[in-house]
Amino acid sequence: MQGMTTAPAGPDRPAPGADSDAAGRRVAPRRAELARMIDHTLLRPEATGEEIVNLCADAAKLGVGTVCVAPTHVFLAAASARQAGKDADPSFAVASVVGFPHGTHLTVIKAEEARRAVADGATEIDMVVDIANIMDENWRAIETEITEVRLSVPPHVILKVILETALLPDESIAAACRAAEDGGAEFVKTSTGFSPAGGASLRAVRAMVAAVGGRLGVKASGGIRTAEQALAFVDAGATRLGLSATKDILADVPA
């Protein structure tokens, strides 16, 4: 299992969560700090190359840590990150999705998707597990597919595991988090944003935080549209946020 760090966000490391004050209470992040926790996301199937270029231009201006795009857009996003960066360092990391959005791809296909995304420039992979295995409480199968994807990419690549938590009770969320940890993931993530059941919830994030105990990062994603919601998820323990309304949200966070 590969643990998360507390270094600033970047292509090879998770983003930090909110700081705490002397009494141990969480302190709401300021705008720049929150921006580094954001995966600025565009996963609509009809998204054009021009929209991806604009997404990346906004990412550089806003100072986000990562953009998250479909596998077909990784090469373009990675090129945009390099162009926006300085001294040959990308301005932001590039994440891509695997087994998206339903998680029903065969494990060998997910592993190959991950390999190809990394070859095209992704340094983070957000994989959807086979949700049916969670519903069946087949934790060994979940761990196995996560392990296969983890082994398909280099160790520096960050692996996030999407659980579609809106479908799950807290006990299943906790068990799935343990399987993700045992499989070598660096993050667990709430949602694809495409499930009719819904997206992120504070209940799910709290259950995930309790299950991983700071050993893994927790990404809240799906339906977060306001600064108030974003900060509430950080307060609940999320260390990453998957957002598409990034610009509007950051505009409402104090600098």
Task: Determine the Cα angle at 65 with ends 100 and 116, to 5°.
Answer: 40
CB burial class (10 A; 0-12, 13-18, 19+) of residue 7?
Answer: exposed
Angle at which helix 170-183 crosses helix 202-212, to 10 degrees, equals 50
pLDDT of residue 7: 33
pLDDT of residue 9: 37
pLDDT of residue 90: 84
Buried b (16+ CB within 10 A) or exposed e, 185-223: bbbbbbbbbebeebbbbeebbbbbbebbeeebbbbbbbb
pLDDT of residue 65: 97
Among candidate residues 110, 130, 160, 189, the one labeled active-site is 189
Going 128 to 132 to 137 to 140, the CA torsion angle's sign is negative
Among candidate residues 219, 235, 248, 252, the one labeled active-site is 219
Among candidate residues 39, 120, 126, 130, the one labeled active-site is 126
pLDDT of residue 13: 42
Indicate the residue type of 154: P
Identify whether 170 is a catalytic site residue.
Answer: no
pLDDT along the chain (255 residues), means of 10: 35 48 70 97 97 97 97 97 80 97 97 98 98 97 98 98 98 98 98 96 98 98 98 98 98 95
Identify whether 160 is a catalytic site residue.
Answer: no
Identify whether 219 is a catalytic site residue.
Answer: yes
pLDDT of residue 20: 58
pLDDT of residue 21: 54
Strand positions, DSSP E, 19-170: 38-42, 66-69, 93-98, 124-128, 158-162
